[in-house]
Structure 1
Amino acid sequence: MKLDHDCVRAILIWVESNVPVGNPRYTDELIDDLKSKWTEAEIIYCVAQLGEANLLDGGAVIQGGAIVINQVNKLTWKGHEYLDNIRDDGIWKETKATVFSKVGNASLSIISSLAAKLIETKLGL
């Protein structure tokens, strides 16, 4: 399955807004809130990948076709860093336009680096 970068961004924003410290949320709540744009399978896949990438604490673990862990505890430090780079809608649109027009796709780390450079340019750094 392909990793949907818009879904990744939406999940990180949702977690930041909806998961208070010490009060984990089940992925079912996340799915309910995002299902108008993505399928359950797409959301769970992204959550699982975000956990593997250490952007989320908790998440979804898929074993034998079934979800065995399905709660999100919090964003990790790395998750906050990534989200801070891509949070702004303008930066996000510019980052995607640059990546997808030049190479078609990129890793989360490349996307984050490009977004950070766009932010630095806007700040005159």
Structure 2
Amino acid sequence: MKRDMDLARMILLDLEQNDIPRYEQLKLDGYDEERIGYHCYLLAQAGLIVAVDATDTENILPNYIPSHLTWDGHEFLNGIKAPSDWERIKKSVIQPAGGFVFSFAKEYILHELKTRTGIS
């Protein structure tokens, strides 16, 4: 299964909106539970969310249930929250790299935030 960075962003946005940790499978329009569970696994592996492993023997793919954002998840989301920022990062980082290079995107977001705030 290919990574869907738009789905990953949607998961992060959904988790930020919750005041309490989630303990049930996330549901998002247009995505099945298998795809969402796999992307939650990827986000947990990247250290952006805390999630519970709900993988069973009937599934080949990892299936994680998201609980909440980590500190890094909040930081990363702040850089991609605005739709205009997200579109710019997709054009500047994701498309030229032929996919998503997570560590490069994190550095790019940090650079953008420093530039906006005047911190160098």
Same fold (TM over 0.5): yes
Instruction: Give the Cα separation in 2 of the matches to 1:13 and 1:123.
Output: 23
User: Residue type of the partner of 2:115?
Assistant: T
Instruction: Give the Cα separation in 2 of the matches to 1:70 and 1:104.
Output: 26
1:99 is matched with which residue?
A: 93
Q: Does 1:53 align with 2:46?
A: yes
Instruction: Give the Cα separation in 2 of the matches to 1:62 and 1:108.
Output: 24
Count of aligned positions: 118
Q: Does 1:6 align with 2:2?
A: no
Q: Secondary structure at the match of 1:102?
A: coil
Q: Which runs of 4+ in 1 moved over 4 A?
A: 66-70
1:91 and 1:115 in contact (8 A); partners too:
no
Deviation at 1:68, TM superposition (A): 8.6
1:24 is matched with which residue?
A: 22
1:84 to 67, 78, 83: 78
Query: Which string of whole-angstrom CA distances, capped at 9 and with x for unpartnered residues, describes residues 62-83 of structure 1?
Result: 3531789754332111211111
1:48 and 1:62 in contact (8 A); partners too:
no
2:54 and 2:65 in contact (8 A); partners too:
no
User: Residue type of the partner of 2:55?
Assistant: I
1:26 and 1:70 in contact (8 A); partners too:
no
Q: Secondary structure at the match of 1:73?
A: strand
1:101/1:49 CA distance change after superposition, 3 Å: closer
1:46/1:119 CA distance change after superposition, 3 Å: same
TM-score by length of 1: 0.76
Q: Secondary structure at the match of 2:68?
A: strand
Hey, which of these two has a bigger chunk of helix by percent?
Answer: 1
Hey, which of these two has a bigger chunk of strand by percent?
Answer: 1
